A = this chain, B = another copy of it.
Amino acid sequence: MKYELYYWPGIQGRGEFVRLALEEAGADYADVARERGTAAMFKVMEASGTPPFAPPFLKAGKLVIGQTANILLYLGARHGLAPKAEGPRLWVHQLQLTVADLVQEVHDTHHPLGSSLYYEDQRAAAKKRTEEFWSERVPKYLGYFEWLSEGSGGSYLTGRGLTHVDLSMFQIVEGLRYAFPKRMKAFERKIPGLIGLHDRVAGRPNIKAYLASDRRIPFNEDGIFRHYKELDV
């Protein structure tokens, strides 16, 4: 089965967490809006019996699945990117949902007053939110995942086997490095386990090939992870 991924064509955004899973799995997929434009995306959104609230969504045969973590729940079960037993499966999904919460907070560093307003119209608030993000939230979230990596008993967050959460954690590290190079550089010494994890994921053959391809959209200031100099002090 060839999957169809639907997401905004110009950004990594939330779609990237799905792309990384599809690429690691070596799955056959089309990145539809990149190939055929957003009109094709809106058409599926409106016509589906299970219309997603927002991209990304995945068409898998007759299923149309929205919400990033939900897509990964589906793909994880099919491509060996999550455990099969109920307890471990719920655990991995729980971690993916915690990643989703962190991603939302990353977004809010540059859009604290609302996603419909321009960044330029909420700069002062963005500075305050970013301060709080780095003083309170990053230590809490990344400290939690670092703690898990220390106790995992394997090369990956939940043990010996790679899951989609590891792929997402790679993306978190990449994104924070892009958006906040100075802050992240100073912080990385506190998370050696996650940096090691990042490097192991980056070295996996399928991920390595993907990152070197033009399927990997460069980071930019329309996505989740945005670099604004004044927020990286």
Which residues of A pack against B, CB within 8 Å? 50-53, 62-63, 65-67, 69-70, 73-74, 86-87, 90-91, 93-94, 97-98, 101, 104, 108, 112-117, 122, 125, 128-129, 132-133, 135-137, 141, 144, 148
State how many copies of this chain the complex holds.
Answer: 2
What B residues does A108 contact at CB under 8 A?
108, 112
Chain B CB count within 10 A is highest, among A101, A113, A135, for A113
Instruction: Give the contacting residue for A94; candidates B65, B104, B133; CB below 8 A.
Output: B65
A132 & B116 in contact (Cβ 8 Å cutoff): yes
| Given A65-B94, A90-B73, A94-B70: A113 in contact with B137 (beta carbons within 8 A) | no
Task: Tell me whether B50 and A87 are in contact (CB under 8 A).
Answer: yes
Taken together as a complex, chains A and B put the C-alpha atoms of A112 and B130 apart, in Å, by 11
A148 to B135: give the CA distance in the assembly, Å.
41
Q: How far, in Å, is A95 (CB) from chain B's closest CB?
A: 8
Tell me the nearest residue of chain B to A50, going by C-beta: B91
Contact present for B132 and A113 (CB under 8 Å):
yes
Other than A62-B87, A70-B90, give 13 A-B pairs with Cβ distance below 8 A. Answer: A52-B94, A53-B101, A53-B141, A66-B94, A67-B94, A101-B104, A104-B104, A108-B108, A113-B128, A114-B132, A115-B136, A116-B132, A116-B136
